[in-house]
Amino acid sequence: MKKLILFAAAFLLFVNSRAETFAPGPAADNEPLIRNTRLDGYLGIWYFNEKLDNEYVYKYSGGLGTYCAKHQPFAVFAPAVNKTFFCYGGRYKGRNSLVHAVSYFDHYTGQVPRPTLLLDKGTTDAHDNPVISLDREGYIWIFSSSHGTGRPSYVSRSRKPYDIDEFELKVTTNFSYPQPWFSGGKGFFFFHTRYNFIEGCDRTLCFITSPDGISWSEPKAVAAMERGHYQVSGIIGNKVGTAFNVHPRPEGLNWRTDLYYLESTDFGRTWQTVDGRPVEIPLRNRGDDALVYDAGGLNVYLKDINFDASGNPVILVLTSRGYASGPDNGPRTWTILHWNGKKWRASEAFLSDNNYDMGSLYLEGGTWVIVAPSGTGPQPYNPGGEVQMWESRDQGINWNKVRDMTSDSPRNHTFIRRPVGAHPDFYAFWADGHGRMPSESRLYFANRKGEVFQLPVRMDADFEKPSRVLPDVSRRTIP
């Protein structure tokens, strides 16, 4: 009997030392999950969603290695080692199957290593793309998403600080649209979405917290109005903020509309509107005081959120008249919503031609910048296009295009992402892909000057310098 008790105690200790779950989730398959191998180049996943009966073929599609807008962040600058670490949805050379890849740009040498193949997600669905975070000690955390509840989600951590050679699985669970933010004083604040978490709400906005990435709090719902929401979020100092739309009943997600904002200054213990009025979560009423923008029936697509020099939120969205690709649902208007300390101010920035044109917002004191695929691409009215840089010198009221960053491209450039603490030499990160048929997908980054560099597709050495993409010579034959 004594031996049996000792065995049971030892078994429990072993179980508790393994990867923990912070919510019930499906188990991993029998294949080795963490691969820790190297790819010999940078290739992104190609993906489509919802076929249409018109010349544009899909609701959205293309090279979606840095998709979607509700995944944040894809890159983090680490000043301690002068490297920008990044992840993306990659693929095998001969097979369009989603792998989670991790790498970095070395600002000292100007080189990148062969990317680490962290895991094979067993799908082609880019909703399962990973995101990245770094903790105070420099460990690299990868949050591997799932589209709904049909596949497991994972949290993995590098074995060594600032090192991509080996990762170990820490958590197996289920979450969608991950947005983890690390606070040096408190740990991880993890916004995400849970399907059917609250009855009648398809997509509930939730959060959990953790001091160490291993032990997590129970999930709490932030908003569960009608059919659900999408969100973009951010952190500044001791404040976390989330901006979200609503999927109205009965239509659902293709009729997403309006804009709301909530924030917390005590790591999620209490919540308030932007002007400090306390609210009880989850929000269930569309008429709540958290409403920022009544879109008047227009669709609202979330792009980015940032905070001005006073810590006030600035939200970037795109509005349109419907979900399908093509000119009929234009104009597609990029709009800034800025809380100026007294009221929300809306201002239009520029137009583009698809709901899933995705860009990022940078606030640099008196200069605000948007990097976006707002130029007409080789597949017009499909997601992405040619990348352009826009600037405002009056807090987003007026915008001027200051640079065409790409031109004459063979494929649309898609989903431009802003790194956390973006370094001027790795300022934006994205992929490309054909908008109307399966294609290869290359990966790119740009510096603050707007110069674009392509990550090497095939590497013959362990480290190589990315190649400069010159706008006037970038046209190539589509493979």
Tell me the mean pLDDT in the region 282-303: 94
Tell me the mean pLDDT in the region 227-243: 97
What value does the mean pLDDT of the chain take? 92
Contact present, 405 and 387 (Cβ < 8 Å): yes
Listing DSSP states for 107-166 in one string gives TTTTBEEPPEEEEE-SS--GGG-EEEEE-TT--EEEEE--STTSS-EEEEEESSTT--S-
Is the preceding peptide bond at 282 cis, omega within 30 degrees of 0? yes
Ramachandran bin of 196, using left for φ above 0, alpha for ψ from -120 to 50, beta for the remaining angles: left
pLDDT above 90: residue 5:
no
Q: Residue 287's pLDDT is what?
A: 79
Place 401 in a pLDDT band, splitting at 50, 70 and 90: very high
At position 395, the amino acid (one-letter code) is Q
At position 408, the amino acid (one-letter code) is D
Q: Which residues contact 47 (CB under 8 A, 6 or more apart)?
A: 61, 62, 64, 67, 124, 125, 126
Q: Residue 234's pLDDT is what?
A: 98
Helix (H, G, I), strand (E, B) or coil at 7: helix
Provide long-range contacts, Cβ within 8 A and 24+ apart, for 78-81. Answer: 78/134, 78/138, 78/162, 79/421, 80/138, 80/162, 81/138, 81/162
Tell me the mean pLDDT in the region 114-141: 98
What would you report as the CA-atom Rg of the chain, rounded to the nearest whole angstrom?
Answer: 22
pLDDT above 80: residue 17:
no
pLDDT above 90: residue 27:
no
Question: Residue 301 CA to chain centroid, in angstroms?
Answer: 14
Tell me how long the chain is. 479
Tell me the mean pLDDT in the region 148-162: 97
Percent of the chain with pLDDT over 70: 91
Q: Residue 428's pLDDT is what?
A: 99
Tell me the mean pLDDT in the region 235-257: 95
Instruction: Report the alpha-carbon distance of residue 330 to residue 410 in Å, rounded.
Output: 24
pLDDT above 80: residue 370:
yes
Question: Residue 224 CA to chain centroid, in angstroms?
Answer: 21
**Predicted model pTM:** 0.92
The predicted-structure confidence for 299-340, as pLDDT tens digits, reads as follows 999 999 999 999 999 999 999 999 999 999 999 999 999 999
The predicted-structure confidence for 453-479, as pLDDT tens digits, reads as follows 999 999 999 999 999 998 753 344 333
pLDDT above 60: residue 141:
yes
pLDDT above 90: residue 426:
yes
Q: Residue 472's pLDDT is what?
A: 53
Residue 188: in which H helix or E strand, if any?
Answer: strand 187-198
Closest CA to 446 of 359, 384, 345: 359
Sketch the domain layout of the chain as residue ranges: 32-473
- 32-473 has which CATH code? 2.130.10.120
Contact present, 414 and 383 (Cβ < 8 Å): yes
Closest CA to 426 of 358, 376, 360: 360
Contact present, 74 and 66 (Cβ < 8 Å): yes
The predicted-structure confidence for 187-198, as pLDDT tens digits, reads as follows 999 999 999 999
Residue 457, Cβ density class (10 Å: 0-12 exposed, 13-18 middle, ≥19 buried): middle
Q: Using the 8-state DSSP alphabet, how is residue 253 labeled?
A: G
173 against 33, higher pLDDT: 173
Closest CA to 248 of 347, 333, 323: 323
Tokens 């969608």, residue located = 176
Listing DSSP states for 260-301 in one string gives EEEEESSTTSSEE-TTS-EE-SSB--TTSTTEEE--TT-EEE
Cα–Cα–Cα angle for 407, 329, 250, rounded to 5 degrees: 130
Range scoring the smallest mean pLDDT among 39-48, 280-289, 441-450: 280-289
Tell me the mean pLDDT in the region 349-362: 98
Please report, to the nearest 10 degrees, the dihedral formed by the alpha carbons of residues 130, 135, 138, 140 taken in order: -20
Q: Tell me the β-bridge partners of 316.
A: 304, 336
The predicted-structure confidence for 79-106, as pLDDT tens digits, reads as follows 999 999 999 999 999 899 999 999 999 9
